[in-house]
């Protein structure tokens, strides 16, 4: 397989503008194979644009997916949002859904400009929080050929209700107070306090369910930091891309749901899939079980490639 190529592109406007960085993988088509891609004889290829979820970086579990797509004959671009991983910009480690979606749009333009890419066949791929981002970003665009939303967080209110089932009320109240205080600090222009992203049960980490710390750190790359701005708790309640899922009925959409997901409620993803008339695949695992090295990864990749074969090739 061809080695990844470093890609840099600009995102944002004014003082918030900064360079995002990612890796581009050209489509790989072994000689003599007529079934390895949408255009075995050559020509521009579709490109899958990949981004991570809450606090994730491109070197933390995205590349196995990107490499699988490239090996199947589809170019791939995996990138970091501003303020995360190898990308520039600040404030560092602060999650803003609106800003991340803006970065995704800039990444689409960057992917379309890569050599050998068909700009009219861009595919969006997102997991967890980015699984919701891709639903928002694809709305109203005619240059998006398909969307793959894996273990998606599509309804922040549903996620909050699910969290209430797994955490003690005192812990939820403490987290809410921390998020509100961080929002107030950020409003003054000062750096907001950080909270751990993943931690053991009973900790103050955002992801503190049993097994989540081990699962996240098992895919963490060298640029990943186990912290995010504490104000994210005030953002997720209004994060509800599922409200507009019916706008996507004209776009081929695959939603991959982990039926035992304790972080991104499966019923919310299934409801969004029904509204969007999406293709749905179910997996007998939890939130991280579709990543490389976990039980459902190989099937998730096969299903995604099969989906692209039928809708994008």
pLDDT, tens digit (0-9, with 9 covering 90-100), for 41-67: 468 999 999 999 999 999 999 999 999
Q: pLDDT 10s per residue in the chain (313 long)? A: 678 999 999 999 999 999 999 999 999 864 444 434 444 446 899 999 999 999 999 999 999 999 999 999 999 999 999 999 999 999 999 999 999 999 999 999 999 999 999 999 999 999 999 999 999 999 988 889 999 999 999 998 877 776 555 555 555 445 555 655 555 656 677 778 899 999 999 888 989 999 999 999 999 999 999 999 988 877 787 889 888 888 877 799 999 999 999 999 999 999 999 999 999 999 999 999 999 999 999 999 999 999 999 999 8
The span from the CA of 311 to the CA of 148, in Å, is 11
pLDDT, tens digit (0-9, with 9 covering 90-100), for 114-149: 999 999 999 999 999 999 999 999 998 888 999 999
The span from the CA of 305 to the CA of 313, in Å, is 10
DSSP code, position 199 = -
Looking only at Cα atoms, what is the longest distance across the chain? Answer: 62
Classified by CATH at the fold level, domain 5-165+239-311 comes out as Rossmann fold (3.40.50)
User: What is the β-pairing status of strands 75-79 and 18-25?
Assistant: antiparallel
Q: pTM value? A: 0.91
Q: Check if the beta carbon of residue 131 is closer than 8 Å to that of residue 154.
A: yes
Residue 24 sits at φ, ψ, to 5 deg, of -105, 130
The span from the CA of 61 to the CA of 220, in Å, is 7
Chain center to CA of 199: 21
Confidence at residue 166, expressed as pLDDT on a 0 to 100 scale? 54
Sequence ranges of the domains in the chain = 5-165+239-311
């Amino acid at each position: 397989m061809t080695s990844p190529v470093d890609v840099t592109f600009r995102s944002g406007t004014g003082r918030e503008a900064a360079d995002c960085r990612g890796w581009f993988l050209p489509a790989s088509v072994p000689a003599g194979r007529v079934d390895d891609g949408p255009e075995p004889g050559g020509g521009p290829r579709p490109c899958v644009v990949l981004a991570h979820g809450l606090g994730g970086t491109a070197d933390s579990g995205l590349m196995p997916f990107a490499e699988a797509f490239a090996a199947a004959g589809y170019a791939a671009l995996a990138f970091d949002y501003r303020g995360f991983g190898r990308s520039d910009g600040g404030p560092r480690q602060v999650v803003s859904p609106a800003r991340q979606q803006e970065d995704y749009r800039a990444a689409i333009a960057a992917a379309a400009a890569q050599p050998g890419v068909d700009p009219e066949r861009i595919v969006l791929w997102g997991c967890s929080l980015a699984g919701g981002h891709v639903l928002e970003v694809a709305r109203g665009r005619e240059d998006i050929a398909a969307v793959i939303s894996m273990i998606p967080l599509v309804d922040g209110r549903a996620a909050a209700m699910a969290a209430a089932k797994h955490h003690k009320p005192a812990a939820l109240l403490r987290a809410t107070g921390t998020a509100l205080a961080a929002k107030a600090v950020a409003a003054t222009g000062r750096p907001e306090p950080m909270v751990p992203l993943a931690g053991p049960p009973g900790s103050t980490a955002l992801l503190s369910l049993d097994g989540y710390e081990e699962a996240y750190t098992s895919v963490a790359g060298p640029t990943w930091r186990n912290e995010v701005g504490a104000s994210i708790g005030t953002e997720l309640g209004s994060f509800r891309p599922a409200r507009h899922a019916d706008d996507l009925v004209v776009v081929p959409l695959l939603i991959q749901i982990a039926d035992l997901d304790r972080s991104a409620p499966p019923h919310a993803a299934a409801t969004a899939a029904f509204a969007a008339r999406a293709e749905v695949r179910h997996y007998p695992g939890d939130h991280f079980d579709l990543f490389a090295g976990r039980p459902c990864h190989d099937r998730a990749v096969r299903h995604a490639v099969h989906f692209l074969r039928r809708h994008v090739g």
